[in-house]
Chain A
């Protein structure tokens, strides 16, 4: 059992847990994730390790309540425990001194971007971060990102905080102005990662995205997480989750994420019409 030591609400429907998991905390690196299962009937779901404290033996998970399991998770409190937690899984981010790195986090994607951006910074890079959300209430980790970034841009769809617009807007401007960018790292909704890839492609700027296909085991034995990268099938849980954005078949990924839509609604017994479902 993995005890939740701390719970914090970062935004409506976005929660942070600090979980006791010494074996995972000992080994994990930025870019890696865990698979968790709440209880005996639970589904296995992947969540990124958003932070860790090796000395305390804890990891931090930040999740958005989007469906059955994440909402059930959101109802747990400090003192409750998760039945299963496996990890660290996936390949760690390749960290070295590249020069100038732009880190883009959209929505809940800011959570996985944070430890990676921090590691780039610690490796001596100039880190320019762009974080965005639909509105000010949904923006997370602003202070944390500010602390580790040389420059931080904030965007919201409705302009309630920072610039009105999308996270790709500042990126477009930087590239158009001829700013030297050595690497772009983008994590967020698939549609956002796809737009980032399209923005950087003409400039030939190496761009990495962290993919979030549906997973079961997370250890490479089912192929449920397969995505087409450079026209080859890759298993995101072991070959990734990070890939070269210019090679990823984002449309295929989006289609596969919808595979269980009708089942997910059935699960809520509300027919999918209640306010819990977008």
Chain B
């Protein structure tokens, strides 16, 4: 049989159409293409791809089911390890994970593992297929999860499957974390996030929204008054950084978090049908070149901006965003101003942005991170004519929980410190995801949630055994 050396293409909306709508860009495989792509897998005995998957999906096994046309068996296999496959299939950087290790990728392109995972999840979802769950009559214990992002949701799903009574406390009005407020609709439709979380609820997971831990309850209250056996903290890296340059408080300057939250969580792109406004000007500068910057830039285009610039102090090579995201942004017309660093935001007499003063940079010696350090070129300042500036230069840990939890150790950047199983310095308290690692990926957060769930299980059972023995 002829096996293609390249991945089967996934159909996409054309750039000139999609750049003005919020519909999903990538359209997914059909049955035939999925089977054909699945046939590219060599079913390696050692399955090197599996070492690249932070949640340990049995990749060849689910791919085999797809090849044989048993799509529901495929999703059942995935779901034993991954609670949110329709999401991971869409947003994981597979080129750095499972697909990086795929044997087929040595000679040609690796097997499209992510696309196949997405296909199986969508297939099951479209048919309303539910998982079979048998819960024990008596729960094994009560666990509180703080934050309904990928880390918290994955810990919740695993613990519920093991037989725990799980309550997730989420500060916002909708669960999902970055999946809901950060990653845009056109990459990850919110309806899919909602449905995937609904399935978790069917496992018996209770989600309490509008509950800001540190304010509504403290961790100590959850462990004592509320009677939880253990707590998992998955509060993410939600604190936006600004540059501390003049003009940052002018009207028309946003953190990427605020801009994306208004558009994604609050649906400002439907204003005034939805009550929250957003100001997307005609000419928008997005500072930074990670995935967050690409998302903000592509969102600004879809809100009707005429020119959208990515302003980045290093060169194309150092851009942290995924190659595919950069490609998509370019196709849609985002303009790149590389080796360019903002020094000041210029306002008009009414307090609105009217320009971004930048300085040109050149690359010097490599720094600690091994990347060549950008240095300003004297007297090369110029003004970019923009009316909106979006800061996408990174996020720090959300400090609310740390500030109100005595005895919880954090490092100098404010991230919670844990051992490799997710145990913190405080008994009964576990943590994982971006709050521990700093801004990382969805699947790494899920992997951390999974590990912590196992550690929580061990901890609670030991504690209960201890309690029984001393009786």
Give me the interface of A with B, judged by CB distance under 8 Å: 23-24, 27, 37, 41-44, 68-69, 83-89, 216-217, 219-224, 226-228, 233, 238, 249, 252, 255-256, 258-260, 263-264, 266-267, 269
Contact = CB atoms under 8 A, between A and B. Distances in A.
Interface stretch (B32-40, B50-58, B122-130, B238-246): B238-246
A interface SS class: mixed
B279 A221 contact: no
B8 to A, nearest CB: 39
Interface stretch (B247-255, B357-365, B458-466): B247-255
Given A24-B216, A44-B173, A221 B275 contact: no
Contacts of B216: 23-24, 27, 86-88
B154 interface: no
Contacts of A222: 240, 255, 257-258, 261
A168 B111 CA distance: 73
22 contacts: A24-B216, A27-B215, A27-B216, A43-B275, A44-B266, A68-B275, A83-B173, A84-B173, A86-B210, A87-B210, A87-B216, A89-B215, A220-B398, A221-B257, A221-B398, A222-B240, A222-B257, A238-B400, A255-B350, A256-B351, A263-B272, A269-B272
A32 to B, nearest CB: 8
Interface in B266-285: 266-267, 271-277, 279
Contacts of B255: 222-224
B275 A266 contact: no
B343 interface: no
Contacts of B209: 84
B399 interface: yes
B212 A221 contact: no
Nearest to B251: A259
B192 interface: no
B233 to A, nearest CB: 15
B211 interface: yes
B173 A223 contact: no
B404 to A, nearest CB: 11
A256 B352 CA distance: 9
B277 A264 contact: yes
Interface residues of B, number: 41
B212 A216 contact: no
Contacts of A233: 242, 244, 248-249
Interface in B128-179: 171-173
Given A86-B171, A221-B238, A260 B249 contact: no
Contacts, number: 118
B305 to A, nearest CB: 16
Nearest to A263: B277
Nearest to B208: A23
Contact of B173 (A27, A37, A228, A260): A37
Contacts of A260: 277, 279
Contacts of A89: 212, 215
Contact of A43 (B212, B258, B266, B350): B266
Contacts of A219: 171-172, 212, 238, 398, 400
A192 to B, nearest CB: 20
Interface string B187-222: 000000000000000000000011110011100000
Contact of A221 (B244, B250, B251, B261): B261
A232 to B, nearest CB: 9
Contacts of A259: 251-252, 279
A224 to B, nearest CB: 5
A200 to B, nearest CB: 25
Interface centre among B173, B209, B244 (most CB of A within 10 A): B173
A233 B239 CA distance: 13
A255 B261 contact: no
Contact of A267 (B251, B257, B272): B272
A41 B171 contact: no
Contacts of B249: 226-228, 233, 249, 252, 256
Nearest to A224: B258
A68 B172 CA distance: 22
Interface centre among A88, A222, A228, A264 (most CB of B within 10 A): A222
B18 interface: no
